[in-house]
Amino acid sequence: MAAAPPILALQQIRLVLGSSELLSGAELSLTPGEKVALVGRNGSGKSTLLKIASGTITPDGGRRFLQPGATLRYLPQEPDLSGFANVLSYVEAGLGDGDAHYRAAYLLDALGLRGDADPTKLSGGEARRAALARVLAPEPDILLLDEPTNHLDLPAIEWLEAELVSMRSAMVIISHDRRFLSDLTAATVWLDRGVTRRLNRGFGFFEDWRDQVVEEEETARHKLDRQIVREEHWLTYGVTARRKRNVRRLAGLHNLRQERRDLKRAVGDVKISVSEGDVSGRLVAETDKVSKSYGKPIVRELTTRVIRGDRLGIVGANGAGKTTLIKLLLGEVPPDEGSVRLGSKLDIAMLDQRRAALDPDSSLKEAITGGGSDMLTINGEPKHFMGYLKDFLFGPEQAGTAVGKLSGGERGRLALARALALPSNLLILDEPTNDLDFETLDLLQEMLDDYPGTVILVSHDRDFLDRVATSVLVAEGDGRWTEYAGGYSDMVAVRGYGVVAPAAAAKAEKSDKPASPAPAAPAPQSKQKLTFKQKHALDTLPKEMAKLEAEIKALNATLGDANLYARDPKKFQQASDALGKAQTALSTAEDQWLELEALREEIEG
């Protein structure tokens, strides 16, 4: 069966910005109804390529094809609502001849917006929702969506995901929300150093494929110049090779989540009464039947404890009171009822949604050191500021670069670096994943894995919550909050549905039914067991991986000898080949162990 002809195609696209070539032969094709993820590092040119696809920008070279008669709508990151009397007229302006006008009002209602609202008075999140309604209303043949989930809360993200699944439009989607892309897309286009590669599978398969491409490329080029390849690989991909969760971190997360489950079972709803000496250095915060209202209930009779080492995720719709809850936990605002007890010797570092204030005229070095010593104290150990910034994917040549000249993604990384560099044992992160690319998200996850203190995290990123949180505190509506052990997916599995908007929660409470139906219970199955071979592999693979890691370390040390190739080409070749085989074997062993560990968890419930 012949493939369908493209409805939109970009061929050999070139674009020069200043003295550098941003795009050098990029390509993109879209068939009717196809949903494609467009991914790449921040600054790689994804948004620019989408603007070229929309016809907003004319490239310096290449060809753009749009099927005659096809309708196309483009969602920019920063929509312009000026010149419209109200929100409804802005949305209706996106409709074409023959489009159903009722969809404009329907979408505004679904997104929680009023049609008679003044566009100039909308918040950033409200403006994004209005722009979404405008591009979705005509149900076009082609949708080009640039970060459609930015500044949306969880109910809006999950509503949007369901709406896009139901639409027949072909789509190209740029997003840093892994779960959103995995659920929606059937193909992935990777924009890397000006050119594109295509994977005819959804985003869920992308990262393993990307890692394989990187390893093959590095192995092929390793013989030419080892040091240049290593430096270029680090600068380009950063933490790609560190993406996979290793045995220690995965086991640690499982243990912490089990501790939360045990604590919930032991405590129940009974007030905890422990002597100060027993909890000194371990208790971070404890609330006992805390309530707070600002005209409406924000928190109602909340009893919970935050223990040193917890990774507590706080999730809820916009307006649920997440910021107020954090202030209550930190003792910054007094409760109307109940009591809050804080642990001793708390050193708090905070990253808010607006990021830490960064002076655009200061240098990267000044921003991270405060203009003082070149040495920082990270996790109790001294570290040179440039070595620390290298962990956040900054090169030595950027030390003197003014903050104002950094890209948005780079400023996000710098704000994270500064927050994590502050001496602290309690880290408050408010929407830390906004505007970060996948590599930086992986880096942040690893930094949090290594962080010895406690983390309180507010996020709408479901995948990030699954990777980091040991428990989540969820807004149930009307000021009620419930804590669930595990990440976001664990919460959904127990609760039966995800986060809902306050209005939906209120309706659910009135009807004594959940706002979204719980999935049907699966049919009973016979008890599954691991085979002897699987049990043996689960026991022996960690030792095998440790052995391979030691072998890789030794081979890298051998190849680190700059004179080895000139002195002994045969030994260099043997070491290079052995390194490639060891890296492949380690990757295979890690994948096998993770699959078996997931199977074991499923069997044990």
pLDDT digits (tens, 9 = 90+) for 105-115: 999 998 889 99
The pLDDT tens digits for 200-257 are 999 999 988 988 888 887 776 665 555 555 555 555 555 444 444 455 555 666 666 6
Q: What kind of architecture, by CATH, is found in domain 240-347+462-514?
A: 3-Layer(aba) Sandwich (3.40)
Distance of alpha carbon 156 from alpha carbon 3, whole angstroms:
35
Of 277-281, 443-447, 502-506, 558-562, give the lowest mean pLDDT range: 277-281
Q: Measure the CA–CA gap between 248 and 569, rounded to whole angstroms.
A: 37
Please give the helix or strand (H or E) that residue 601 lies within, else none.
helix 569-604
What is the pTM (predicted TM-score) of this model? 0.69
Answer whether residue 282 shows pLDDT above 60: yes
454-458: strand order across its sheet: 348-351, 426-430, 454-458, 311-315, 471-477, 480-485
Start-end of CATH 3.40.50.300 domains in the chain: 8-210, 240-347+462-514
Alpha helix locations (H) across 137-225?
154-166, 178-184, 206-222
Residues 6+ positions from 324 with CB-CB distance below 8 Å:
292, 294, 298, 299, 333
Q: What is the CATH number of domain 528-605?
A: 1.10.287.380
Digit-coded pLDDT (tens) for 8-32? 999 999 999 877 889 999 999 999 9
Q: Which CATH number is 8-210's, of 3.30.70.100, 3.30.1330.10, 3.40.50.300, 3.40.50.10540?
A: 3.40.50.300
CATH 1.10.287.380 maps onto the chain at 528-605
pLDDT for residue 306 is more than 80 = yes
Strand order in the sheet with 297-307: 297-307, 283-293, 337-342
Identify the helix (H) or strand (E) that includes residue 428: strand 426-430
| Residues 205 and 199: beta-carbon distance below 8 Å | yes
What is the per-residue pLDDT for 224?
53
Q: Please report which confidence band the pLDDT of residue 69 belongs to, taking 50, 70 and 90 as the band edges.
A: very high
